[in-house]
Amino acid sequence: MTATHTTERAVIAKRVDSGTADTEEIRDLARAAGYDVVDEITQTRTEDPAYHLGEGKVTRLSNAVAREGAAVVIFDNQLGPYQTYNIGNELPERVRVIDRFRLILEIFGQRAQTRKAQLQVELAELRYELPRAEAKASLAKRDERPGFMGLGEYDESREEDIKKQIANIRDELESIEETERHRREQRRESGFDLVALAGYTNAGKSTLLRRLADDLDVDENDDLHPDLDTTAESEDRLFTTLGTTTRRAEVGKREVLVTDTVGFIQDLPHWLVESFKSTLGSVYHADLVLLVVDISESVEEIREKLVTSHDTLYERNEAPIVTVLNKTDMVDDEEVRRKKDALSSLAPNPVAVSAEQGLNIDDLAERIDYELPDYERERLVLPMNDDTMSLVSWIHDHASVETVDYGDQVVIEFEARPAIIEQSRSKAGDLVGASA
């Protein structure tokens, strides 16, 4: 008899200092983690140091949990260890309390398929735990007793253990990053331009990746490109892409590798963004970044996301950034024009497309070609022999060949990335020297 998985029922809680609490995103996050959201409690007030919410609202929260038979309370806020403990004491027995960032870590953990992704999740979890361990240590020392407020036994070595684990993970991630840097250089030397997709979750990055590379097959056994994939998920759920998915595309004369990366999410703390910097390596080291936003959202939402994205990208990125206003099939032309004008200071000359419908993808391809580093032209005169035929074949594979004249000598004219031009000159020099 096969065991069935029971989805845990969850009550959402959110406090805001002013205005009305919006719970749409935290509900999406909870569903992405596999929870069944059965109720919500919100409050507009300043933060209570002991309970985060007011005590009366905590009582209402407890009643909702009991009434709905919930197993989890999910706060769309960051809770301190003291607040987590106090709230838990007011809830029915065995009901867990998790905050927004613990929920995000749960989702990351569920989606981590590669060693790199798993390490980054572990690093984020340790960064999350470290200040809590430090708080326990500080209060335990002050009160001269193990643990505090029932938050667990105090282990004097726990802080040091966490710090050592963080250092070890950083070392392993650095080793992985070095391998990836070498792979990127191999790809550039093979004539590929590197384009990265960035943006918030559900902006349509994976759908756009599929659209750009729709007509091309990818050899998954290609030793040079071990992470290439023929498919990119585009489900309507957050964090579908935790790792990276890379596909080949033709843009004009160019062979391009387009990589979809982990989606940004609002209000992430610095320690969590820092833990996933390794995943963003494909963005920081790309030749061009396509920053994808959902044009169907309000101007205020788009502006906020653009500002946050720019802060993250410009910190280490040197490549040009092109803003792609996606999902134009969900708005009319007038709204597209209005939002382009309103966002012009943050997104000058954006490209508006519908990845879902395939609208304006050709315009985007032209823009990609324009923004990528200029190709150089080269003309080589080579001796007529078998080694030259091999070089001509190599140039065809790595460059855009314009003409080849076969006579007493072989004259080939082509355009390519500077690295390919340099390699072709070196190979040609060897050929001419050997035939002299």
Say if CB 91 and CB 65 are below 8 A apart.
yes
When pLDDT is cut at 50, 70 and 90, the band that residue 45 belongs to is: very high
Is 410 one of the annotated binding-site residues? no
Is 241 one of the annotated binding-site residues? yes
Output the pLDDT for position 315: 64
Say if CB 285 and CB 118 are below 8 A apart.
no
Output the pLDDT for position 219: 36
Residue 197 and residue 261: Cα distance in Å, rounded?
6
Alpha-carbon radius of gyration of the chain:
27
- Tokens, residue 93: 């027995």
Is 206 one of the annotated binding-site residues? yes
Is 329 one of the annotated binding-site residues? yes
* Mean of per-residue pLDDT scores for the chain: 81
Is 203 one of the annotated binding-site residues? yes
Q: Is the pLDDT of residue 316 over 80?
A: no
Is 114 one of the annotated binding-site residues? no
Output the pLDDT for position 399: 82
Q: If we measure between CA atoms, which residue out of 383, 418, 420, 381 comes closest to residue 403?
A: 381
Is 253 one of the annotated binding-site residues? no
When pLDDT is cut at 50, 70 and 90, the band that residue 268 belongs to is: low
- Tokens, residue 288: 């061009």
Is 231 one of the annotated binding-site residues? no
User: What's phi and psi for 295, nearest 5 deg?
Assistant: -70, -15
When pLDDT is cut at 50, 70 and 90, the band that residue 232 belongs to is: very low
Q: Which string of DSSP letters, residue by residue, matches 322-368? A: EEEEE-GGGS-HHHHHHHHHHTTTTSSS-EE-BTTTTBTHHHHHHHH
Query: Which whole number is the average pLDDT over 221-240?
Result: 40
Q: If we measure between CA atoms, which residue out of 310, 272, 20 comes closest to residue 302?
A: 310
Is 375 one of the annotated binding-site residues? no
- Pick from 92-96, 233-237, 268-272, 274-278 the range whose average pLDDT is largest: 92-96
Is 199 one of the annotated binding-site residues? yes
Say if CB 121 and CB 109 are below 8 A apart.
yes
Residue 402 and residue 46: Cα distance in Å, rounded?
68
Is 202 one of the annotated binding-site residues? yes
When pLDDT is cut at 50, 70 and 90, the band that residue 7 belongs to is: confident
Q: In percent, how much of the chain has pLDDT > 90?
A: 36
Is 205 one of the annotated binding-site residues? yes
Is 168 one of the annotated binding-site residues? no
Is 261 one of the annotated binding-site residues? yes
Helix (H), strand (E), coil (C) string for 129-173: HHHHHHHHHHHHHHHCCCCCCCCCCCCCCHHHHHHHHHHHHHHHH
Q: Is the pLDDT of residue 274 over 70?
A: no
412 DSSP β-pair partners: 380, 404
When pLDDT is cut at 50, 70 and 90, the band that residue 226 belongs to is: very low
Is 191 one of the annotated binding-site residues? no
> In which residue are the tokens 């390794």 written?
278
Residue 36 and residue 260: Cα distance in Å, rounded?
29
Output the pLDDT for position 91: 95
Q: What is the pLDDT of residues 385-403, one digit of tens each?
A: 888 888 998 888 888 889 9
Q: What is the pLDDT of residues 187-218, one digit of tens each?
A: 776 768 889 898 887 888 888 998 988 544 33
Is 340 one of the annotated binding-site residues? no
When pLDDT is cut at 50, 70 and 90, the band that residue 275 belongs to is: low
334 DSSP β-pair partners: none
The amino acid sitting at 121 is V
246 DSSP β-pair partners: 228, 259
